[in-house]
């Protein structure tokens, strides 16, 4: 392997490793938050906390991750090309501000249904939702900036500080310093605000040389535009609000499709199974946790690989680009195979031990979900490669088509075993998504 390839691989590996540690610890602290809350609150109050959590994180994932990815990709690309200035930050901030404003307008207009129907009349939970979602607009902007600047230590510090500050509210209730659902809920709003304490460190540290030299903007941008017009590898048009918005909208649609993959199964089961729907939906949710849980750790890989691949694209280095993608896919295949083997050997026993309940977990279905998880993570990796190569719109079409096929399959009549239908549908849709993105990825080379 050439020395430049080794350096690129080591940089990606270090970034993913740092983030894996930070996000892994964050996951444990988040688990502690819910554990303390469940022991300190009544079942009804704890249910309100879980509803608030779901509402906040589905909303911010769909609305704000597109701008995080936009910033991560754009900063990495401009740094590799030697472009300076702050125009790309202004474009991303404008988009994020528009999305935050849109959320605020909709949430305020729908206060009645949200506060009364979703949160059982709790004014506190409603305002925590508003404050938390708006605060995460800034947090996700900071995450994109840090990832694109290759500051994964600060990125990990941000998410770790977020989780730590949140759990302190649950600790306060658990030890008797404070009491009630409202205090635990306030942790969800305070966490993204407190986590921004890392931003002064990011802004105070030395910026990459290309970013710190705005006087070189015109010449550098002219060279980049000449490259683009000449069709040279990695050449792109000038970054404007129009193409920035186009990228963000495509990624937003991908986030909606992602939420469909993760949540459509339990929701469709609950809606179609009548009086037994709630219990069966909960059972289906437990099964799909096999697919959902690894996504927390995989977030670190997604965060590290996009700026890494973007830099390789801008420099025209196709061999290390393909090698990075292949190494990640091989690691995912090994992980999915190991999980599938565990599910085949002791899956039903493990699920009964962890979740209990009266329903029996099917061994074959658990294996199907494990394989589907591997295909889904592979598709997510290919998606990051396509975003790095500026194929967001084409990737978006693949995601939307696969998600629509998944929902259509779930609505097919004639299945006696609705959980098996979800398991087959998830694995099949993940396979379709992986195949579509794989074909698009090969064409991009």
pLDDT of residue 32: 86
Distance CA 29, CA 170 (A): 11
Find the DSSP H helices in 179-317: 181-195, 199-204, 217-230, 241-272, 277-315
Count of positions (residues) in the chain: 445
Residue extents of the structural domains in the chain? 16-239, 246-445
Distance CA 276, CA 266 (A): 12
pLDDT of residue 249: 93
- Using left for φ > 0, alpha for ψ between -120 and 50, and beta otherwise, residue 210 falls in alpha
Q: Is 211 helix (H, G, I), strand (E, B) or coil?
A: coil
Q: Cα–Cα distances in Å, from 362 out to 282, 335, 347, 348, 357?
A: 15, 21, 8, 7, 14
Extract the residue ranges of the chain whose pLDDT is less than 50: 3, 7, 206-237
Q: Is 57 exposed, middle or buried (0-12, 13-18, 19+ CB in 10 A)?
A: middle
Find the DSSP H helices in 41-151: 43-81, 87-109, 111-112, 123-148
pLDDT of residue 79: 87
Please give the torsion angle defined by the CA atoms of residues 345, 353, 417 and 409, in that order, rounded to the nearest 10 degrees. Answer: -80
Q: What is the CA radius of gyration of the chain?
A: 22
CA diameter of the chain: 69
Q: Which two tokens stand for residue 188?
A: 């969800």
State pLDDT tens for residues 218-240: 444 444 444 443 333 344 446 67
Supply the angle between the helices 418-444 and 241-272 in degrees, to the nearest 10: 160
Angle at 423 between CA 52 and CA 288, to 5 degrees: 30
pLDDT of residue 205: 54
Distance CA 442, CA 33 (A): 43
Q: Is 413 helix (H, G, I), strand (E, B) or coil?
A: coil
Distance CA 142, CA 161 (A): 13
Q: In sequence order, what are the residues at sequence separation of 6 or more whose Cβ sits closer than 8 angstroms to the Cβ of residue 254?
A: 66, 383, 392, 395, 396, 399
Distance CA 296, CA 299 (A): 5
pLDDT of residue 291: 82
Q: Which residue has the tokens 């306060």?
A: 172
CB 307 within 8 Å of CB 73: yes
pLDDT of residue 210: 42
pLDDT of residue 206: 46
Distance CA 254, CA 272 (A): 26
Q: Which two tokens stand for residue 352?
A: 């009964």
CB 60 within 8 Å of CB 133: yes
Q: Give the DSSP letter string of 296-350.
A: HHHHHHHHHHHHHHHHHHHHT-HHHHHHHHHHHHHHHHHHHHHHHHHHHHHHHHH
pLDDT of residue 355: 67
pLDDT of residue 437: 97
First vs last C-alpha separation in the chain: 20
Q: pTM score, two decimals? A: 0.81
Distance CA 75, CA 88 (A): 8
Q: Cα–Cα distances in Å, from 119 out to 48, 53, 123, 228, 279?
A: 6, 11, 8, 51, 20
């Amino acid at each position: 392997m050439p020395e430049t390839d080794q350096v690129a691989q080591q940089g990606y590996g270090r970034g993913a490793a740092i983030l894996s540690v930070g996000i892994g610890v964050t996951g444990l602290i988040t688990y502690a938050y819910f554990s303390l809350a469940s022991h300190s609150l009544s079942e009804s109050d704890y249910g309100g906390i879980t509803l608030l959590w779901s509402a906040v994180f589905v909303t911010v994932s769909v609305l704000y991750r597109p701008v995080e990815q936009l910033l991560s990709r754009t900063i990495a690309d401009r740094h590799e090309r030697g472009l300076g200035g702050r125009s790309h930050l202004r474009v991303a901030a404008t988009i994020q501000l528009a999305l935050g404003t849109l959320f605020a307008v909709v949430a305020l207009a729908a206060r009645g249904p949200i506060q009364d129907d979703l949160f059982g009349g709790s004014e506190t939970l409603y305002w925590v939702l508003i404050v938390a979602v708006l605060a995460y607009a800034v947090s996700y902007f900071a995450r994109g900036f840090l990832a694109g600047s290759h500051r994964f230590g600060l990125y990990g510090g941000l998410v770790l500080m977020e989780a730590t500050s949140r759990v302190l509210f649950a600790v306060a209730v658990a030890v008797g310093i404070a009491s009630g659902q409202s205090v635990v809920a306030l942790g969800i709003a305070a966490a993204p605000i407190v986590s921004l304490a890392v931003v002064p460190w990011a802004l105070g540290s030395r910026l990459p040389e290309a970013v710190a030299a705005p006087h070189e903007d015109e010449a550098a941008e002219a060279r980049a535009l000449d490259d683009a017009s000449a069709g040279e590898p990695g050449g792109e048009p000038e970054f404007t609000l129009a193409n920035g918005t186009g990228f963000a909208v495509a990624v937003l649609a991908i986030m909606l499709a992602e939420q469909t993959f993760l949540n459509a199964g339990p929701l469709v089961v609950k809606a179609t199974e009548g009086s037994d729907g709630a219990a069966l939906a909960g059972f289906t949710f437990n099964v799909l946790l096999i697919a959902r849980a690894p996504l927390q750790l995989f977030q670190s890989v997604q965060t590290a690989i996009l700026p890494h691949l973007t830099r390789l694209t801008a420099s025209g280095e196709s061999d290390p680009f393909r090698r990075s993608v292949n190494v990640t896919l091989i690691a995912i295949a090994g992980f999915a195979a190991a999980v599938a083997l565990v599910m085949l050997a002791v899956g039903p026993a493990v699920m009964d031990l962890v979740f209990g309940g009266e329903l029996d977990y099917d061994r074959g279905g658990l294996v199907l979900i494990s394989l589907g998880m591997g295909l889904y993570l592979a598709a997510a990796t290919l998606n990051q490669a396509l975003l790095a190569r500026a194929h967001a719109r084409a990737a978006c079409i693949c995601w939307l088509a696969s998600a629509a096929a998944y929902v259509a399959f779930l609505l097919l009549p004639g299945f006696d075993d609705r959980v098996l239908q979800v398991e087959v549908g998830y694995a099949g849709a993940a396979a379709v998504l992986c195949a579509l993105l794989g074909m698009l990825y090969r064409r991009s080379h």
